[in-house]
Chains A and B, each alone.
Chain A
Amino acid sequence: MVADHRVARHPPVNRWIWLLALLPALGEASALERGNGPEPDSLDPHRAQGLSAQHILRDLFEPLVRERAGGEIQLAAAESVQVSDDGLIYTFQLRTDGRYNDGAPVTAADFQASFERALQATTGAPYAAMLAPIRGATGRLNGGDGELCVEAIDTLTLQICLEAPRGDFLRRLALPIAMPVPKRMFASGARMTRPGVLLGNGAYQLSDWVPQSAITLTRNPHYRQPPAIERVRYHVTEDAAQELKRFAAGELHLTDTIPPGSATRLRAEFGDQLRIAPAYATFFLGFNLRQPALANPALREALSLAIDRDVLTRYITGNGELPAYSLLPNRPLPASATAAQFQSERAQRARALFASAGFHRDTAPTIELRYNTSLLNRRLGLAVAAMWREVLGVHTRLRHEEWRSFVVSRREARVTMIYRGGWFGDYQDPVNFLEPFTQNHALNATGFADEPFDLLVTQAAAGIDAAGAIDRAESRLLHANVLIPLFQYTSKHLVSDQLCGFEAHPLDHHPSSELRFCGTP
C-alpha cells in the first residue's frame, strides 16, 4: 500500500525521469573544461604553429626544459644539463623515469631523431628556424644533408653542439619544436596525431579529438607524477563573447581570453575570477622607412610623441594593457627623457619637431595607417588618427585588410606606410624581440638597416655583455624612430573559483598538470 501511495504522489518524476538521460554531461567533477581559442592547427609538435595547439602540446609532451613564469629555466625531460666553458656544447642527462604514454622509455635517440625530423624541409616545420643555432642545422634548413650536431651518446645522454654561443638556446629548447616525437610514430604519417596513435611523454595523453569542437586528454598512466586533474577537455572557443557566456553558465572552468574592453564589467561581475597579467608582448606601429614621406626622423618622432598611450589603454583597449614607450616588455622607461613627460609636454615637443621638419598644420602630409581587420585595431586606428589630427593636423587614411592580405602587404612593403605591428615573445629573451629588426630578417617590414644595431644584437645573442648590448640596441632602435610602441599586451583569463594553482605567466603557459580543483591535493 505504501509503495502504491508513493507512486501515486509522484507520477511526474517517474514519467519524466528519462529526460535526465538527455542532460549534457556538464560539470564532471574530475574534468577540467578549458576554453582554448581557435581549433589547433596540428598536434604534431613540429608542424604546430598556433598558440591553441601549443597549449595542448605542453600537456602532451615534455621537452628537455621548461620556462617558468619568472623566466628561469626548469629541467623537464632532462635531469641535468652541462654547458661547456665555451658555451658550444650542451650535454643533457635524461630522466630515468621518462615514459611515453605506451610505457616505453624516453631516450636520447628519440630526441636526436626528432630534431632531425624537425629540420627536414619535407616535414614542413614552420618553427624549424628555432633550431638554427645547432651546428649543421642551417645546412639542413637549406636543403643540405650535412651532419647535424645532435648525438645520442648513450640511451639517456644527449649532446648538442652549437655553431656559436647562444644565450637563449635553452629557452628555444622549451618550445614545441624541441619536443620529442618518437621515431616509431613517423610511419603513421598525418595520422600520428590521432588518439591511440600519438605518443607523448607529457602528463596527459590524447584520448579524443573532435575537430572544431573539443580535444580530450586523460592522465598519462606512465607519467612520473600523476597530475591532480584526471581529464582535461580543451574546447574550441573562437568567439570570446560566446566563451564568456559558457563560463558564466558554468560550462568552462578557464577561458582563453575575454572580449575586448570588458575588463571593468567583468571585474564587477566575477571579481577575483578575472585574472589579468602583463604578457611578454608589445603592440606597436611600424614605419616603412622605404617610403620617402616618412624619411624624416623628426616627423616620425613627432608622430610618436603625439599619441597619448594612457588614453589608448584606458579607453580603447581597456583590458589592463600597460602603456609602452619601449619595444621590450617589462622595461623601465628608456633613458630618453621624452617618454616620461606629461602628454601635454610631449604634444608640445611633437609640434616643435613637426615644425622643424618643415611641416605646418595647413600643409600637413597625409599618412596612411594599415591594419588587419578587427574591431580593436579599427578603434585604435581611429583614436591614433584623431590624436595626430589634433596635435599636428596630420590627415590619416585608414586602410584595413583581411589578415593574410595584410601580412603580404606588410612583408612586400610596397604600399605600406605605417602598419600595425605586434610581437608575442616565443620565449622570455629580449633578443627574440630585437632580431626581427636586423637587416635581411624576413620579418623586418620597416626596412631599418643599421650595422651597429645588428652587431649589438649578435653580441647579445652570444651572451657577451648581453644586458648592455640589449640596452644599447633597443636605444638605437627607439632613437631611430623606427616604430611607435603603444602598449604591452596582457594575458586575460576567467578562472573559476573551483580551480586552484593558476599563476600568471608572461608567455601564458598554463599546463593542466599545474592546476587542480580546490580542496583536492
Chain B
Amino acid sequence: MKWLKRIGLRMVGTALTLLALVAVCLMLLRAVPGGPLDGEREMPSTVRAAIEAQYGLDLPFSEQYGRYVSNALDGELGPSMQYPDFNVEELIALSAPITITLGLLATFLALGAAIPIAAAIAAEPMALQAARTGTLVMLAVPKFVLAPLLVLVFSLSLNWLPVGGFAWREPLTWVLPVACLALPQFFVLLRVLIENMRAAMEKSPVIAARARGYSPLRVVTRHALPLALAQTFGFFGPILVALLTGSAVIEQVFNIPGLGRYLVQAALNRDFTLLIGCVITVATITIVAHFVVESLQELFDPRVRARG
C-alpha cells in the first residue's frame, strides 16, 4: 500500500509538472520574436491565416492551452509545424527509442567499465589523482570536440567505424556515439567510486571482514564495493537522465535522428507542437529515471529504506 500511495503521489506530481511545462512552453513561444511561419519568403496572407487557424495560433493563450491539453489527453500532439507530413507522436516514437537505447548502452558501458576498474585500482596511490585528471579533461573537452576527434581516429584514419548515420541493423553506427556519451560519465563515476571505495575500506564491516582473514578479492567485491555503490547511487540519477534524454551535440555530429536534435530544432524553428512534445517526453523520462533510481536506492540501501 505504501508503494501504491507513493506511485500515485508521484503520478499526480508528474501530471501537474507536465501541465505546468506545457503552459510555460506556450507562453515562452508566444513571447519570443519570430514565429513558425516566418521565413525568407513571405507566404500569402490567406495561406498564413489558414495555417495559423489549423494549429490554433490565432487563439488566445487560454484557449490554445486548453485545446492543446485536451488533444494531448486524447493522445494527439498534432502535426509538427516544421515537418507537417508527420504527427509529433510519430516523430517522438521514432526518435525516443534511438535516444533511450544509446543512452542505456552508454550507461551500461560507463557503469560496466567504471565499477570493475574502480574496484581494481582503488587502493593504488595514484588512482584517485588519475581519475580526477581524467574527469577534468573529459568535462573540459566539449562533446563537439571529442566526437570529431574520435571520428578522425576511428573512422577517417583507421577506417574501422562509419563517420555518421544511424541504423538499427548496423550496430557499428552505434559505437562512436555511445563511446562519446559514455566517456565523460565513465570518468565521473570512476572518480566517485574510487573515493567511495576508499571510504568504504575504512568502514567497520570491511575492517571486520579483513580481520576475519577474507581474501582481498572477497573483501573488495562482497564488502567494500556494495558499500561504495550504495554511496554512489545519488550520482546515478543525474547521469542516467543526462544519457537518456540525449545529447543534441552528439546527435548532430553523428547525424542521429534522436530526441535531443528534435528538441533543439523545434526551439529554433518555433515548432511549438514538436517542442512541447519533446519537452513532455524528456520531462517524463527524467521523472521516471529519477523514480527508478530512488526506488533502487531504497531497495539496496537499508539506511535509505529506514529513512522512508
Q: Is the pair B91, A211 in contact by a Cβ cutoff of 8 Å? A: yes
Q: Is the pair A249, B32 in contact by a Cβ cutoff of 8 Å? A: no
Q: Is the pair B163, A249 in contact by a Cβ cutoff of 8 Å? A: yes
| CB within 8 Å for A42 and B83 given contacts A210-B94, A402-B34, A408-B38 | yes
Which residues of chain A are near B269, meaning CB under 8 Å?
404
B84 CB contact (under 8 Å) in A47, A121, A210, A406: A47
Min Cβ gap B275→A in Å is 13
| CB within 8 Å for A41 and B83 given contacts A236-B255, A239-B252 | yes
Interface CB pairs A-B, < 8 A, 5? A191-B85, A237-B255, A238-B255, A239-B252, A405-B32
In the complex, which residues 415-462 of chain A have their Cβ closer than 8 Å to any Cβ of chain B? Answer: 442-443
| CB within 8 Å for A190 and B85 given contacts A211-B94, A407-B40 | yes
Which residues of chain B are near A42, meaning CB under 8 Å?
83-85
Which residues of chain B are near A401, meaning CB under 8 Å?
33
Q: Can you list, as one digit per residue, whether each of A1-45 has a CB less than 8 Å from chain B (1) or not (0)?
A: 000000000000000000000111110000000000001011110
Judge whether A142 is part of the interface by a CB distance below 8 angstroms: yes
Which residues of chain B are near A407, meaning CB under 8 Å?
34, 38-40
| CB within 8 Å for A213 and B257 given contacts A47-B84, A143-B46 | yes
Min Cβ gap B43→A in Å is 4
Min Cβ gap A497→B in Å is 18
Min Cβ gap A146→B in Å is 14
Q: Can you list, as one digit per residue, whether each of A228-261 has a CB less than 8 Å from chain B (1) or not (0)?
A: 0000000111110110011011010000000000
| CB within 8 Å for A125 and B156 given contacts A190-B86, A245-B151, A402-B34 | no
One of B166-174, B192-200, B212-220, B297-305 at the interface: B166-174
Q: A residues bordering B, Cβ < 8 Å? A: 22-26, 39, 41-44, 47, 49, 121-129, 141-143, 190-191, 193-194, 210-214, 235-239, 241-242, 245-246, 248-249, 251, 401-409, 411, 442-443
Q: B residues bordering A, Cβ < 8 Å? A: 32-36, 38-44, 46-47, 49-51, 54, 79, 82-87, 91, 94-95, 148, 151-152, 155-156, 159, 162-167, 170-173, 252-258, 261-262, 268-270
Q: Is the pair B84, A41 in contact by a Cβ cutoff of 8 Å? A: yes
A399 to B67, CA, bound (A): 38
Q: Which of B86, B87, B270 is the most central at the interface, judged by chain A CB atoms within 10 Å of its CB?
A: B86
A194 to B253, CA, bound (A): 27
| CB within 8 Å for A126 and B268 given contacts A22-B172, A24-B162, A213-B166 | no
Q: Which of A237, A245, A406 is the most central at the interface, judged by chain B CB atoms within 10 Å of its CB?
A: A245
Which residues of chain A are near B33, meaning CB under 8 Å?
401, 404-405, 408-409
Q: Is the pair A122, B41 in contact by a Cβ cutoff of 8 Å? A: no
A212 to B87, CA, bound (A): 14
Q: Is the pair B46, A242 in contact by a Cβ cutoff of 8 Å? A: no
A41 to B269, CA, bound (A): 11
| CB within 8 Å for A212 and B95 given contacts A124-B54, A126-B43, A128-B47 | yes
Which residues of chain B are near A212, meaning CB under 8 Å?
95, 255-258, 261-262
Q: Is the pair B38, A124 in contact by a Cβ cutoff of 8 Å? A: no
Which residues of chain B are near A409, meaning CB under 8 Å?
33
| CB within 8 Å for A402 and B268 given contacts A122-B50, A190-B85 | yes
Q: Is the pair A141, B162 in contact by a Cβ cutoff of 8 Å? A: no
Q: Is the pair B51, A249 in contact by a Cβ cutoff of 8 Å? A: no
Min Cβ gap A20→B in Å is 11
Other A-B pairs beyond A22-B172, A124-B50, A190-B79, 13, CB < 8 Å: A24-B162, A44-B84, A47-B84, A47-B85, A121-B49, A128-B44, A190-B85, A191-B85, A194-B85, A212-B255, A213-B165, A246-B255, A404-B34
A211 CB contact (under 8 Å) in B86, B159, B164, B268: B86
Q: Is the pair B47, A442 in contact by a Cβ cutoff of 8 Å? A: no
A249 CB contact (under 8 Å) in B159, B170, B262: B159
Q: Is the pair A235, B165 in contact by a Cβ cutoff of 8 Å? A: yes
Which residues of chain A are near B262, meaning CB under 8 Å?
212
A49 to B39, CA, bound (A): 10
Q: What is the chain B residue whose CB lies nearest that of A39?
A: B83
A408 to B40, CA, bound (A): 10
Which residues of chain B are near A241, meaning CB under 8 Å?
148
Q: Is the pair A126, B255 in contact by a Cβ cutoff of 8 Å? A: no
Q: What is the chain B residue whose CB lies nearest that of A214?
A: B165
Which residues of chain A are near B165, meaning CB under 8 Å?
24, 213-214, 235, 246, 251
Q: What is the chain B residue whose CB lies nearest that of A213?
A: B257
A408 to B270, CA, bound (A): 13
Q: Is the pair B94, A22 in contact by a Cβ cutoff of 8 Å? A: no
Q: Is the pair A442, B255 in contact by a Cβ cutoff of 8 Å? A: no
Q: What is the chain A residue whose CB lies nearest that of B251?
A: A212
Q: Which of B32, B39, B268 is the most central at the interface, judged by chain A CB atoms within 10 Å of its CB?
A: B39
Min Cβ gap B77→A in Å is 13
A143 to B170, CA, bound (A): 50
Min Cβ gap B34→A in Å is 3
Q: Lowest 4 A-B CB distances belong to which pairs?
A: A404-B34, A212-B257, A442-B42, A121-B50
Which residues of chain A are near B171, meaning CB under 8 Å?
22
Q: Is the pair B47, A211 in contact by a Cβ cutoff of 8 Å? A: no
Q: Which of B46, B50, B54, B173 is the most central at the interface, judged by chain A CB atoms within 10 Å of its CB?
A: B46
Which residues of chain B are near A402, meaning CB under 8 Å?
34, 268
Min Cβ gap B41→A in Å is 6
Min Cβ gap B220→A in Å is 34
Min Cβ gap A404→B in Å is 3
B41 CB contact (under 8 Å) in A22, A49, A194: A49
Q: Is the pair A238, B252 in contact by a Cβ cutoff of 8 Å? A: yes
A23 to B159, CA, bound (A): 12
A22 to B46, CA, bound (A): 52
Which residues of chain B are near A214, meaning CB under 8 Å?
165
Which residues of chain B are near A191, meaning CB under 8 Å?
85
A442 to B47, CA, bound (A): 14
Q: Is the pair B172, A242 in contact by a Cβ cutoff of 8 Å? A: no
A214 to B164, CA, bound (A): 12
Min Cβ gap A268→B in Å is 17
Which residues of chain A are near B38, meaning CB under 8 Å?
404, 407-408, 411
| CB within 8 Å for A141 and B94 given contacts A211-B83, A239-B253 | no
Q: Is the pair A126, B83 in contact by a Cβ cutoff of 8 Å? A: no
Which residues of chain A are near B87, meaning CB under 8 Å?
190
B42 CB contact (under 8 Å) in A143, A403, A405, A443: A443
A214 to B151, CA, bound (A): 20
Q: What is the chain A residue whose CB lies nearest that of B91?
A: A211
Q: Is the pair A249, B86 in contact by a Cβ cutoff of 8 Å? A: no
A194 to B42, CA, bound (A): 28
A23 to B171, CA, bound (A): 8
Q: Is the pair A124, B84 in contact by a Cβ cutoff of 8 Å? A: yes
Min Cβ gap A312→B in Å is 22
Q: Is the pair B95, A190 in contact by a Cβ cutoff of 8 Å? A: no
